[in-house]
Amino acid sequence: MAESTELHEHSLPQTLTPEGVGTGQSVWGKVRLIASRSVFWTYARGSWQYDVICALILAFIFLTPASWFHDRPTLGLTNLRHSQGVIEVGRAKDGWHYLVDARLVSSMAPRKPEDAIREILQQRLHKPVDLKSVDVLRDRNNVILGYTVVLP
């Protein structure tokens, strides 16, 4: 027995390794494995990892403030001025009939209504326009809603 105790007291020299080298590499490897599985979505459906990823996606969708995303389209009056608010009613015996919104005409305020309507229709039809008649459409409170325009 004396011999065996001597052996325990005299231990063999071990290779010296810095502490945590093996542990750090395995932790980094695990993090990389988890990240790659999450990005490539390799977890089985119904596993807790799959459920956590789905919960994170739903949390991002519903909890992200809308102000973070500046994707609302900007709509200016210059874009609408000559493309919206003109309705082609059709052709009759006396010519082509159009309805023009009063807001379009008032947006070109320094001009007379007839000149503004002529310019709006020229830009809409891409040809020179001669006005045959312009009639004002009013509501019961005598507010101008638009103009009925007849082209020859």
Contact of 128 with 122, CB cutoff 8 Å: yes
How far is 9 from 25, CA to CA, in rounded Å?
Answer: 33
Evaluate if pTM is beyond 0.75: no
Per-residue pLDDT of the chain (152 residues; tens, 9 = 90+): 555 555 555 555 555 545 545 556 789 999 999 889 888 888 889 999 999 999 999 999 999 988 887 766 554 444 444 456 788 888 888 899 999 988 888 888 888 999 999 998 998 888 999 999 999 988 888 888 889 999 98
Which one-letter amino acid corresponds to residue 60?
F
Q: What residues does each domain of the chain span?
A: 25-66, 82-151
> Which pair of tokens denotes residue 106?
């008032």
Residue 95 Rama label (left phi>0; alpha psi -120 to 50; beta): left
> Which pair of tokens denotes residue 24?
């750090």
Which one-letter amino acid corresponds to residue 30?
K
